[in-house]
Chains A and B, each alone.
Chain A
Amino acid sequence: MTTMNNALEIAGLGIRRPTGAVLVRDATFTIKPAEIVLLVGPSGSGKSTIVKLLGGLLETGPGGWGVTGRLTCGDRKLDLESERSHVGGIVFQDHALFNDLSALENLRIAADHAGRPPAPALLADATALLGDIGVHKTVASCSGGQRQRLAIARTLLADRPVLLFDEPNSGLDVRMARRLGELIRDLCVGMGKPALIVAHHVKDLLPVADRVLLLDTRSRRLVEVPKDADAIEAELMKLDSGSAASTGTAQIDTAAPQNGKDRRNPWPSSIGHRSRLYWFGRYMAEYFWELCVSPLMLIYMGAGALIMGFVSMWFGFHYNSFGGYLKSLLHDETLVGLGLVQGTVAVPLISSILFVARNNAIIAADIGNRVLSSQFKAMDNLGITARTYIYSAILINMVMGALMLLVLSLGVAGWSSMQTWHLQFPQQNFELWREHFFQKLILEGGHVTPRMGWVLLKVGLSALLAGAAAIVIGGGRKESVLEINAAIARSIIIGVTLTLLVHAVISVLTL
């Protein structure tokens, strides 16, 4: 086991909500190396806020949380009023695993964004928990216990001086909670790191705790209480007027690591090291697949273009003035006009709308899910530049994908138009259609008309704006899945509206 001998010292800690209400007043405590401190208190008392503060996730400053006090950890001395603390690695209550990455990638990204490459001993310590988890397993296929150990291992790889656990026993039955407590105990002792465990139900974790701090919601102070379960429960009962809700149990398995230790552990050698560029490429590829080239997306866009090509050509010739009487006489000009309108207005518009409607739903859902499941917080805590990776990957892919799919849509719509035209004029050679349909789109010498520059602009710009709107809407505060659903609907409406506006304005300006 790796050992670090940094104590965490907090002096004069005060936290004030953005509303102005005081959460904690003048709290001072120390957690020694390898010491485990339980932080208890009623629901909503602010325990998790202290964890967020120590993990660097609390938004302070004007309009945000108000914090005072000083923090000392090893040679780091921080004024919490003006400096952000990054001393704590948080294991979130709901694990906050990145479910778009595999189990291995969850560890890799944490290791690659740690301040320095993890030492072999740290790798061994962190991955010793994962003996029963296949290296390439997806997060979705992991059991609850496996996810919890993955989350712990990921936090350990970030190599923060202090370990912070936010209600780790939530949802666990007694046996599993005690196993988890033993696991934390072993890690802290082995690595010599102080640990702060926020818990609402303390009985299962009390055996592994060295001390217990109670957040007194009446005095707004942190009070050390004896390691007596009954006494603590009594204090909590006083503070938490009957809010001790029962918890369900999860089907998790924490026994496997012990067995896994006996076998050769494949994790350390699999983690390795990758540059940030690799991770940028990884997210680019992920969103390129999801937003641009998944088979369903291509079928969807292709179907839209196919229908557009058919509709414009069929109804363009059948329902013009005097219908069939003049379709022969006006054929050439009709075809030239249909080609121009289809190539510069209709297909770009329908392509953009289909693209934006579908992708804005995906982006809002994806970002909303990351917000709701604390993935962005976990990324921040792990030092992963989520905005750079995810937001830029989304925006770049929105623009690039919109342009790429525009080309595909134009191709499909053109083919569909040509076949529809041939249905109406079966004796004519296809080349006659080509000559007229592309007359104003492809100029002499094979050059594409300069108008296509405006087409690319409106398609790219609408995709960029719609993508940005989806990110903003998806990234808003989310408390439930219902809010994600609402965000999806809002994102589609705003994205499509922006698309329509951009297309209309540029089309009118370039008439």
Chain B
Amino acid sequence: MRAFTVMFGRPAAMAASVGLAILFLSAGWTALPTRNAPSTLAYRLPDGDPAAGDEGMPVFVLRPDHSTLRAGVARMQTGGRIDVTLYDPSDPELTQESEGLLFNADLRVMWLLATDEERAALRRGIEKLGVGLRDAIDAVLRSPEFNDEYRSVLKDVGRQAIDTAWHHPGTKAAYDELVRSAEPVLREAIGRDLRGIVMKRAEPMVWDMLSANVGSVLKLFQDQPWNLTPVEQALEGIQRDVREQGLVEKTTQRILDSWQAKAFMQTFANNAMDAAVRDPRMRDAVHRLLTDQRLGAYLTPASQPANELARLAPQILFGVHPQSDLNALAAYIFRGFITGRPGQLVILTSPRQRDQILALDRFAPRPLLYGVPQ
């Protein structure tokens, strides 16, 4: 610096210092966040919302290629008004994007914002995985290793669990309740529907019985059995009528539709599962099953679709790939997912994009109406 001072003098050095200090402070000033900027857009919820939000919501703009760009901050005001402060109101991407949609920040948003091709690709991946899983499970269940070592144990466990659940007091109480609730249904079915069928068949049966046994009536003291064929025919006819009229199915359906039936089934299933899980043989079998390297070979049908889906889903939904620019929407949703505080977000779209999204899902996005900025 002495050389500088010698060459240009102390005043020049001081001027250089002042210039540098101003330059540095200006650079720092440009980096500071803009606070309390006035809102540039306003929307409102159609059904209103009395609560004002404490925290700002991010605002994104949906571009024609279905990528999103962070465009500003929105704040929920009392009465459902949403004030939006755009980072750059003169951004040309915003001039055509004026329709607002309010979302809860969850994976559904990513699904809705994906292109048709991306959604189709995801569906294909999920289907492939489903097929692969079925094949893999079938292969495991058919494998000699499973049949030799696991099947009998698991069957025993299952039987034991059903037995335990059946004798469980809760199951018994639920079953009794079901039976009590079924009696009126059965009485009604027998008294009304079955009676009509029986009566229809009973009258010809009497005449058939009489005509078939008329000889026997006359030989009163002969020791001959009655000809019961008409009875058998009448019973067959009743059974046929019952079957043809669906009487059993209807009655069963009525019983099964009752809440007592549901309660019984739930109680029974819960108790059976609890009993199975508590069974140490089950724990041991499952542990061995999961760590049995011999069974790994049977899972091959599922592994490739699973890998493909694991690679595809983050790429499509979160835009995760090595050279990706920022997907601020995915980052926000991911943060909400991790922290357990998903929050809400606003996406600005064109009218056509809004209609496409609403066609896919009429409930997840909440269309916003225009409001007046304040």
Chain A positions near chain B (C-beta within 8 angstroms)? 293-299, 302, 323-333, 407-408, 410-412, 414-418, 425-432, 434-435, 437-438, 442, 446
Contact = CB atoms under 8 A, between A and B. Distances in A.
Interface string B83-96: 00001100100000
Given A330-B334, A412-B27, 11 more contacts: A295-B20, A324-B322, A324-B324, A333-B335, A408-B24, A417-B31, A425-B325, A429-B70, A431-B88, A432-B70, A442-B35
Interface in B13-65: 13, 16-17, 20-21, 24-25, 27-36
A330 B4 CA distance: 47
Contacts of A416: 27
Interface of B: 1, 4, 13, 16-17, 20-21, 24-25, 27-36, 69-73, 87-88, 91, 318-328, 330-332, 334-335
5 contacts: A295-B17, A327-B326, A328-B319, A428-B326, A431-B87
B194 to A, nearest CB: 66
B4 A328 contact: no
A328 B327 contact: yes
Contacts, number: 126
Contacts of B330: 328-329
Contacts of A327: 324, 326
Contacts of B328: 331-332, 428, 432
Given A295-B1, A415-B30, A328 B331 contact: yes
Contacts of B16: 295
Contact of A411 (B31, B33, B87, B324): B31
Given A294-B17, A432-B70, A414 B34 contact: no
Contacts of B69: 427-429
Contacts of B324: 324, 327-328
A431 B56 CA distance: 14
B262 to A, nearest CB: 42
A302 B26 CA distance: 13
A288 to B, nearest CB: 10
Contacts of A324: 321-324
Given A414-B31, A434-B33, A434-B34, A328 B13 contact: no
Given A295-B20, A296-B1, A408-B25, A328 B326 contact: yes
A326 B318 CA distance: 10
Main SS at interface, chain A: helix
A434 B326 contact: no
Contacts of B34: 431, 434
Contacts of A435: 33, 73
Contacts of A410: 28
A428 B29 contact: no
Nearest to A305: B24
A330 B325 contact: no
A323 B32 CA distance: 28
A332 B330 CA distance: 10
Contacts of A426: 325
A297 B16 CA distance: 11
Contacts of A411: 24-25, 27-29, 31
Nearest to B27: A415
A328 B318 contact: yes
Contacts of B70: 428-429, 432
Contacts of B325: 328, 425-428
Given A324-B322, A434-B32, A298 B331 contact: no
B34 to A, nearest CB: 6
B71 A429 contact: yes
A137 B326 CA distance: 62
Contact of A326 (B27, B87, B320): B320
Contacts of B327: 328-329
A438 B20 contact: no
Contacts of B35: 442, 446
Contacts of A429: 69-71, 87-88, 91
A434 B31 contact: yes
B321 to A, nearest CB: 7
A431 B33 contact: yes
A295 B4 contact: yes
Contacts of A408: 21, 24-25, 28
Contact of A298 (B21, B29, B319): B21
A432 B87 contact: yes
Contact of B322 (A325, A417, A425, A428): A325
Nearest to A442: B33
A431 B86 CA distance: 10
A409 to B, nearest CB: 8
A408 B321 CA distance: 37
